[in-house]
């Protein structure tokens, strides 16, 4: 496997404890290539700057930190900024509440190919196991047997199956996917018109990439994440769904400018 340099972009909002666990899981990755971590913070957490400096002293991989004023949901904007900051040719996007399996980056890079998005799935951790992880910072609690005993969900995604066959399929989510930087720039990154969570950071860009001929490869049971429990914070997505529906209508009418984001 070629040892590609990777920029791992972590979308973060106000959760230092979860981010600490993610960085710990990055430290334990089996991937031997160069990993650059970019913390893309959609606000400026009071203690984040000092904490990032501590992490820089603690870990061997470089950590960049970018942030913006907290004036509402602007995840797409900070992700575009992260793309500009990335020094690697290959980008992996994760959310700031998803811990990585030790082979996560290796599996993404193994299937990396220009003209292709690679994506995986996540296990939904229970409130009980999330509390234990936060209290102990012990990643060994993510053993399948413990996941089962603590009533975690989507356990079908928890088994690491290194010989499982990836599938050509659309339907990725923004918490676990990767792409060559040159491919995401084909559509000028994310569309910053989306100011609510829902579809702007995944469904919209998936549609636009698809129109540009980008293919999608699902590597379930290979690129595994563990999603920390929290109450759902998704608002009604009707408004953002209307944005995408309008773009698709304009595209059908010959307006190809809708394929471009805000990068």
The answer to whether position 171 is within a domain reads: yes
Q: pLDDT tens track of the chain, all 263 residues?
A: 457 899 999 999 878 999 999 999 999 999 999 999 999 998 877 788 899 999 999 999 999 999 988 888 899 999 999 999 999 999 999 999 999 999 999 999 999 999 999 999 999 999 999 999 999 999 999 999 999 999 999 999 999 999 999 999 999 988 999 999 999 999 999 999 998 887 888 999 999 999 999 999 999 999 999 999 988 766 677 888 999 999 999 999 999 999 999 99
The number of distinct structural domains making up the chain is: 1
The answer to whether position 64 is within a domain reads: yes
pTM: 0.96
Q: From CA 81, how far away is CA 204, in angstroms rounded? A: 18
Name which of 221, 12, 5, 197 is nearest 122 in CA terms: 221
112-167 pLDDT, tens digit per residue, is 999 999 999 999 999 999 999 999 999 999 999 999 999 999 999 999 999 999 99
Task: Provide the domain limits for residue 21.
Answer: 6-259
SS3 101: coil
The answer to whether position 1 is within a domain reads: no
| CATH code, domain with 17 | 3.90.550.10
- Taking CA atoms, 104 is separated from 25, 177, 255, in Å, by 10, 11, 38
The answer to whether position 114 is within a domain reads: yes
Take residue 49 and report the two structure tokens written for it.
């700057």
**How many alpha carbons fall within 13 Å on the CB side of residue 229?**
16
């Amino acid at each position: 496997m070629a040892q590609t340099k990777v920029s791992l972009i972590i979308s973060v909002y106000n959760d230092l404890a979860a981010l600490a666990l993610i960085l710990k899981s990055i430290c334990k990755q089996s991937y031997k290539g160069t990993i650059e971590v970019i913390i893309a913070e959609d606000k400026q957490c009071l203690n984040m700057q000092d904490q990032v400096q501590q992490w820089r002293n603690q870990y061997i991989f470089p950590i960049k930190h970018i942030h913006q004023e907290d004036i509402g949901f602007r995840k797409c904007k900070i992700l575009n900024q992260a793309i500009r900051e990335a020094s690697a040719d290959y980008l992996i996007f994760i959310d700031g509440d998803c811990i990585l399996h030790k082979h996560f980056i290796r599996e993404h890079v193994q299937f990396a190919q220009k003209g292709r998005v690679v994506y995986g799935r996540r296990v939904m951790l229970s409130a009980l196991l999330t509390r234990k992880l936060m209290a102990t910072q012990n990643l060994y609690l993510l053993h399948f047997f413990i996941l089962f005993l603590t009533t975690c969900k989507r356990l079908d995604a928890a088994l690491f199956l290194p010989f499982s066959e990836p599938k050509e399929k659309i339907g990725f989510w923004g918490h676990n996917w990767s792409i060559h930087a040159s491919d995401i720039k084909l559509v000028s990154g994310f569309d910053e018109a989306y100011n609510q969570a829902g579809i702007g950071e995944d469904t919209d860009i998936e549609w636009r990439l698809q129109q540009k001929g980008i293919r999608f490869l699902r590597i379930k049971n290979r690129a595994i994440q563990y999603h920390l429990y929290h109450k759902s914070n998704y608002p009604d997505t009707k408004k953002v769904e209307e944005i995408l529906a309008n773009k698709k209508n304009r595209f059908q009418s010959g307006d190809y400018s809708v394929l471009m984001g805000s990068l």
